[in-house]
A and B are shown apart, each in its own frame.
Chain A
């Protein structure tokens, strides 16, 4: 059953500071973070997209029925198709699907609809806002705007939502359920989000340092963004950028929103991946965020990395903040490292936690990389973990 190879042929994104593959590539080579440590009107450090003009990609008459996260996702999906050389002409075969990961779904629409219900009363609450507030509304809006008729599934598993979506898309192609899958990760900043994440003890207070694996860090920065990858089977020969050769997802039973600080599930995922692909990744793109528990768990899973030379380890959340479903962004970073020889550093890292001893954590971007494989690795609060191997 699992015979069809899986290739990544396109990258599209709308992120703080970068719209599209080329801008993302440029940003990854710069020594700067997109995080504003003390933003106005936000209780946490923040990396935000801000106002976004989608009119170049989505006609305003169509956009008026969509919410912000649906628009961002539609633009990112369009850009992924474009980067794979596939025209967005409404004629994609029905074997094209969407697998989308989201941590919290359409939080702005949820907030607005519930506010209207409570303040204005149930009879004045806007049904158009409700209908775009359900988590699968993001992928459904993409499907409607781009006429994508194949399997369409939204998954959520906290900080590994994006990785799980990628594994689902990979399995669909391997098993023949789809020939092409747009795999996305989408989460947006809302007024509720910083308080929500702060309540879970996961984000730093405004003005406080926030950096993956740094001792001084008191939590993650809040982030937002959408990244899409196009996965294809035996098609898309001209644009093959990387091959997805192995993937695993597991979980540790832990209470509530806690993190399994031992990193056991991720370590087991990495072992499963090694058994499947035999690759020795030269780069690990991981989900460490600046949250102490998540950082400890990642460090414990990734130190003493099996194989020879310790790989470079980086964490895009240091540059873009915690956008929850950023596993797809991590995979995009991995593809760019394989194809364009650049990997981002951890620009704000000053004093690594002791558990990182022996780990290769560059502060500056690394250029001229010669990689044959990259590992994407993530751990979520609640116990889930996932790992994926990309090869050139």
Chain B
């Protein structure tokens, strides 16, 4: 695993932050927030050891991918470059590289130099990762908004199952971007103070930035080279709620359908899940729809699962968010705990579920269902399983 988040560089910092119930949200530093009513975000630190020419988005992705490959024991020439896929998803990719030019063009402040467009596309982070790590297998940038990285990881697993790749470096990235921020600002979807998923005082999401990357390979390949897998991705459900471009289907029917598809793909029932890593954006409508979906899926088993999410801690990292959910799920399986939902203190009566409050709980989860729902309704749920259960 590899990560850059509001908690800092690396998975260790992410794990410590999530476990403690802390929040990385603070004043915006990446751009001038004076024109906006909301002035907070969960920004990641600089990745100062990367080449200057790399965009912020590419730098975040490369840093996380390097850490992931190194921690998998595939650093240097250990990775089969020609058989390694790269799937780095994002909502906007290198838009920050374009923002400056668009600003200059629209406001007429300077003559924009359109030759300086390196790293401005959706696929640029993945191309930079492939270049940095010398990987020449299949390459694909998934862009399904807030589910981009989870979908990337799921497709990467399929590429391995189908034989298109032996190893995959997959996940997602999102850099702080004024155009994305102004978009959510215009939707009135931002909380001006904190992100409080499922809390009765919640007012919306807080944006975050970062990159979350995992390395996937088959169990036999990992064991052959003496590695015990951190977790198994045993199934996923991918579908479209076809309801509204920004609003989730309100009854939770579509959220439930996504989770059911994942359980079916993993060959288990809801009773086999110990914990739900919720999408939990802290929007009034989104949280209620997701909890209704969870209530539908778990029905009689609801009191046997716990529910928490990471966005109160690291903000909504958009294209990286689903990847952070999967990373958090793997960490919880590895550590034998479930993390709390940061900033959740007064559970909204409409969001009633066995939430994890204030501090991590030692419950030794074996299977976790991780949700990533998106603008546009491109939803995915994944099932992660601890290796000891095999």
User: Which A residues form the contact surface with B (CB < 8 A)?
Assistant: 1-2, 65, 94, 97-98, 102-105, 110-111, 113-115, 117-119, 121-123, 125-127, 130-137, 139-141, 143-144, 147-158, 161, 164, 168, 171, 174-175, 177, 192, 195-196, 198-201, 248-257, 265, 380, 382-384
Contact = CB atoms under 8 A, between A and B. Distances in A.
Interface of B: 35-37, 53, 81-82, 86, 91-93, 95, 98-99, 102-103, 105-107, 112-124, 126-127, 130-131, 133-145, 151, 155, 158-159, 161-164, 178-179, 182-188, 238-246, 257, 374-378
Contacts of B105: 192, 195
Contact of B119 (A119, A151, A256): A256
B53, B86, B106, B112 pick with most chain A CB within 10 angstroms: B106
B123 A1 contact: no
A151 B240 contact: yes
A251 B137 contact: yes
Contact of A151 (B95, B188, B239): B239
A253 B242 contact: no
B86, B143, B240 pick with most chain A CB within 10 angstroms: B240
Nearest to A198: B114
Contacts of B53: 256
B81, B140, B375 pick with most chain A CB within 10 angstroms: B140
B242 A144 contact: yes
A113 B185 CA distance: 12
A153 B378 contact: yes
B55 to A, nearest CB: 10
A252 B123 contact: no
B123 A143 contact: no
Contacts of A130: 182-184, 186-187
B127 A143 contact: no
Contacts, number: 235
A150 B239 contact: yes
A67 to B, nearest CB: 10
B162 A144 contact: no
A251 B183 contact: no
A154 B187 contact: no
A175 B123 contact: no
Contact of A164 (B133, B140, B240, B378): B140
A110, A164, A177, A253 pick with most chain B CB within 10 angstroms: A253
A196 B122 contact: no
Given A174-B162, A265-B136, A384-B139, A152 B378 contact: yes
Contact of B140 (A119, A122, A141, A168): A168
B376 A253 contact: no
Contact of A136 (B35, B102, B145, B182): B145
A372 B89 CA distance: 37
Contacts of A198: 114
A177 B238 contact: yes
B245 A254 contact: no
A21 to B, nearest CB: 25
Nearest to A147: B242
B142 A153 contact: yes
Top 7 A-B pairs ranked by shortest CB distance?
Answer: A199-B114, A140-B376, A152-B240, A130-B183, A156-B122, A382-B127, A251-B139
